[in-house]
Copies of this chain bind each other. A is one copy, B any other.
């Protein structure tokens, strides 16, 4: 295992200390393990809390800030955050208007966020939850009943965050978050596995000429093992899977996301293929992201996420955001 770490057990604590040192706009609660905006909650604003296993950075801690999340709860690498941690973050950001939990659909995450919501309810904090389940690759995979939550989480956090910043109430923010999830689909491809610091060896194996089609963000198996193909074919496979599940038309928001070990130059090669496929199917890319937004440690590969936009969603996407991971317009 070759990693820039001190010791496997210290990775999360060290990284959180690094985040604290790097970003004065954030407050890192090192003992309780959650990250909030340095300014504290905005009075009267719905609070947005997300979280999940670490190893997917910049998700979620990198999306705390104006126009996006109020708090993020990082678990150990590829491990759900615990209820107490989520509960503490939830009460910390409640400003009287309630809190939205944005939860990726993994069994442990769903269960622990639910327990935290019950604890918060006991404190008189209103909590709504949205479960993100955009990955079309498989149903009921490792760690998940139903579909996995992947790239659409970035879209949900951005768009719901913009609505909350403008003063929308909890029901409205939650409905928007669900709408973004329902209008979004993802498909991922891995060229290499990744290694958990605590495990010390790769989580699965891929032959030198193989890729995993439909891989999950923890390296969970996808639809099939196949011979490595040109980028254009990979993009076609991903987009056909998405299109078969949710027919694409009109304006879309597209993310070509690197999984952590793929050079940006390759992501642009994939983006070209994605843009050509969509254009050939009468679909217009109105907005896009190309880069590392939801990663899987050092896994090589990419995921493609498409959201069918409405004018309202586009406008909220364009609203100012100021976080370590996404920043524009302010």
Contact = CB atoms under 8 A, between A and B. Distances in A.
A272 B22 CA distance: 8
Interface in A282-309: 285, 288, 290, 292, 295, 297-298, 300-302
Interface in A208-241: 208, 211, 228, 230-232, 234
Interface in A265-279: 265-273, 275
A275 B192 contact: no
A4 B264 contact: no
Nearest to A19: B268
Given A55-B265, A263-B55, A264-B57, A270 B300 contact: no
Contacts of A22: 268, 271, 275, 288, 290
A14 interface: yes
Interface string A1-15: 011111100010011
A83 interface: no
A261 interface: yes
A191 B262 CA distance: 15
Nearest to A211: B2
Interface string A183-221: 000000001100000000000000010010000000000
Contacts of A16: 268
A206 to B, nearest CB: 8
Contact of A17 (B4, B7, B208, B272): B272
Contacts of A57: 263-265, 268
Copies in the complex: 2
Interface of A: 2-7, 11, 14-19, 21-22, 54-55, 57-58, 62, 77, 191-192, 208, 211, 228, 230-232, 234, 260-273, 275, 285, 288, 290, 292, 295, 297-298, 300-302, 327-328
A21 B271 contact: yes
Contacts of A301: 4
A183 B285 CA distance: 43
A231 B6 contact: yes
Given A14-B269, A269-B14, A288-B22, A4 B262 contact: yes
20 contacts: A2-B192, A4-B266, A6-B230, A6-B232, A7-B230, A11-B266, A14-B273, A18-B269, A18-B271, A19-B268, A21-B271, A21-B275, A22-B288, A57-B268, A262-B298, A263-B295, A263-B298, A265-B297, A298-B300, A327-B328
Contact of A231 (B4, B58, B260, B327): B4
Contacts of A4: 191, 231, 234, 262, 266-267, 269-270, 301-302
A289 to B, nearest CB: 9
A265 B231 contact: no
Contacts of A15: 265-266, 268-269, 272
